[in-house]
Chains A and B, each alone.
Chain A
Amino acid sequence: MTAIIEAQDLRRTFGAVRAVDGMSFAVEEGSICGLLGRNGAGKSTLMNLVMGQDFPSSGTVRVLGEDPVENARVLTRTCFIKESQSYPDAFRAKHVLATAPHFFPHYDHALAARLVADFDLPVNRMVKKMSRGQRSALGAIVGIASRAELTLLDEPYAGLDAVARHVFYDRLLEDYARHPRTIVLSTHLIDEVADLLDHVLVVHQGRLEIDAATEELRSSAATLVGRSADIDAFVEGREVLGRERIAGIASVTVAGLSQDDRARAARSGLEVTPVSLQQLIVRRTGAPTSEEVAS
């Protein structure tokens, strides 16, 4: 395994706010990594640090083995698209698309043209007059067509509707399959991207809550559904991540179920279903563990 990004005890404070509070992790070269977390969890600050756009208060981050700050060797191999990207006032979308190849050496014009059609982007419109979704589409086009060795996408589809988001996922995966590279994607639409991700980093209040392969994370918990009494008996003494109760039926998300446990649960008449990544992360990042839906 080869790391393209490596962070060691990375910290960034703004006054009393610890936006990034001691994160250590590595992102594998060639993977699609999801950076997940709530608003204000520190995702954007972390990405800014990785791309040398901001400076760590302490700790280190290495991209391609080097400090990314003011490092053209690293930066010319990257593309960082963020929702808050600002464009010069007079720029129309076509100016952005004409400028991009100067800055991204692997930029593919034909692909960009296809994506413009796919997203139905009005290239003659001033960027500042575009809707949030159109600006996101513009960013997504540049992000995919630039084919940088390391692509960071910070909330790349804010304002995009469901259809456009699926166009984005499809095109991203399609091009990734043809031209493998490393992609780090931050989002809070966890279930939508879950199938794309090889690895997830979940940040919560500036700290790294989860750093795991997607599959491993998914199998780390399961949801059990059955009669309340049976459920209560089964989960006694286990780590319960979430609990819902509707009339006499309970649904409980439990961590660390072994194969034997699953078999035993099935024998006691409980239904074992895979937990959604979103549920799991919501549980781990602050939602109350018990939820009375109705009684």
Chain B
Amino acid sequence: MPSEIVIKVNNLTKKFGDFTAVDQITFDVKVGEIFGFLGANGAGKTTAIKMLIGLNRPTDGEAQVAGYDVYRETEKIKQNIGYMSQKFSLYEDLSVRQNIEFYGGIYGLPRKAIRKKTDEIIQKLGLQDRAKKVVGDLPLGWKQRLAFAVAGVHDPRIIFLDEPTGGVDPVTRRQFWEMIYESANNGVTIFVTTHYMDEAEYCDRISIMVDGEIKALGTPAELKAKFSSETMDDVFIKLARG
């Protein structure tokens, strides 16, 4: 059923001068899926994600996100997606509550809905005591969870996460993934880049990118079988070494 596909990418390419950052990648993502987008540093993951969310204009190829074209309908895509960048980009000098309210406002939610949503998120993250404190003072793990919650403030159909758990301990990462699962269970499609191979195991399907190209695509089990490896680490190393 075509309606099940929420991200459709066909030969998408991005060049910066002579350098091809993303080289004719092709894949589909289904509704409600957790799609892992793996690759070494500099493999082109962030560039690919930025084309899908309308921050970068592709050089060539086609892609539809939430049914909208990445060339002509970027603003419509933006209404339907949430995004959390690898660099924390909420306002550190605003309080937890103000950040959530701000993004609720930017996404055009009615005031009542903003208030309700804000209370909900604060409740869910257990940040009641810190709601009025500035975000800059939160520990990194909290910041990341808050950023994820804010990315979903307008109930988007897809949430893009670009290395969301960089620099935090395994327990905090585990908590983060629980949030991801909860969203996916509610029907939100998750598109996540990572280079933690244990996280790759949490995904429904993964693609592995090497030097701008997708070298492997499938469920973690399929990939391990295909490359006759015990762990995703092995799969990744085999691919990355070429």
Q: Do A and B bind each other?
A: no
